[in-house]
Structures are given as C-alpha cells and as structure tokens.
Structure 1
Amino acid sequence: MSEHDDHKPETDPQLHGKIKDSARQIWLAGLGAYTKAEEDAGKFFDRLVQEGEQLESKTRGVVEKHVKSVEDRVEDVREKATGTWDKLENLFDQRVSGALRRLGIHRREEIELLEKRIDALESELRELRGEPRSEEE
C-alpha cells in the first residue's frame, strides 16, 4: 500500500514546484497580455485621433459652406420679415386710425390744429368786441 501512496499527487515532492512554476507562468502571461493590450489601446487611440483629424479637415469646408448658406438664408428671411413687419405695422396704424375716426376720436395732430383754430377765432372775436389783446397772444 505504501507503494501505491507514493504515486498520489499529494505525496509528489515536485508538485509544489510545478504549481509554483505554473502560477508564475500564468502571472507572467497575464502581465504580457496587459502590456500588449495597453500598447494596442494606445496605438488604437492614436489611430482614432489621426482618423478624426482627417475627417475634421475633410468636413470643415463642407460645414463652413453650409453654415454660410444658412446665414445667407437667415439674412434673407430677416429682411423679408422686417419688410413684412413694417407693412403690417403701417396697416395696423391705418386700421386703428380709421376705427378711432369712426368712433369720433381724433388724432393728436387734428386736435392741436383745432386748438390753434379756436385760439385764432377767439382772438378775432375779442377784436370784434373791442376787447384788449391778452398777453398770451
């Protein structure tokens, strides 16, 4: 039975060394894989940056052209809108003035003109009555 026990792995005197060597190889393989992955990741990142720069330089002109086109269109629309707004404002003023006239409400200019006419008439009336002129006149 002792002969059979000598062939068991637990009793193998080299087992400890074999496990130690295997563990070291696994550890070294892991370090190698990590280093390789880090190198590849750096190269991959650099390649992505380079491709991004190339794409940016290719598209920059196209984007600037589109931006200029949009700016021109916006300016055209702005000019049209301003013209339309001015027309709308003028039309609104005309409509409001017409509505106020229909209601018997006069514009300030018309009222000021009427006040001047009244002052002139009062002055003529005083002259006809022989009243002295006031200092305001």
Structure 2
Amino acid sequence: MSDEKSPKPETDAQLAARIKGSARQIWLAGLGAYTKAEEDTGRFFERLVQEGEQLESKTRGVVGKQIKSVEDRVEGVRERATGTWDKLENMFDERVSGALRRLGIHRREEIEALERRIEILETELNLIRNRSGSDEEE
C-alpha cells in the first residue's frame, strides 16, 4: 500500500529543471524588485526635493524674521547706548566747564568775544586819537 500512495521519486533531470525554474523566478523577482526600487527611488527623490524646497521656504521666512528681530533689538540697544553716551558726554562737558569757571579759566567763546570787544575799542581809540590830533593842527 505504501507504494501506491507515495509520490514517485523525481528524476535528476526533473529536479534540476525545478531548481533552474525556481532560480529563474528568484532572478526575475530580483530584477523586478530592482526596477521597482529604481522607479520608487526616483519618485521618492523627487518628493524629498519638493519637501526640502517647502521646508527651505518656510525656514527662510522664519530665519528672516529672526534676523529682522535681532537687527531691531541691536538698533534699539545702539540708540539707547548712543543716547546714554551723549548724556554722559554733556554732563562731563558741563562739569569740566563749571570747574574751569571756578578756577577763573574762561571758555573759548568768552575769550573770542573779549577779543572782538578789544578790537572794537582799539578802533574807536584810534579814531579818537586821529580826531584829537587833527583838532590840534587846526
């Protein structure tokens, strides 16, 4: 009974043909997988490029806003520092001027004004001398 129900043993040629067929199917499946992967890779690469472009445009906007924010803050700090420096400079000038006045040292403007007054007085004095000299000759 066991002989009737047991499958017939394959011949070497049949076994070789089955192995060859299986190997060919494996080879063809590999080629198909390679082709599919190549197609998917192209589409996947294109999708990655598109997503990268979208991300780049989003980040440019965000980075641009951050840069503008930092520039605005720097400008604000610069203006405050300049204002503070100007106040400090004016206060220093006032203190130095006050100290010089207390020491009896006059400012340049005061000295120049005095020089102009002296020139005017010298001119008037010369006019008076010239008149009195011409009055004596008469």
Report the TM-score when normalising by structure 1: 0.48
Greater radius of gyration (CA)? 2
More helix by share: 2
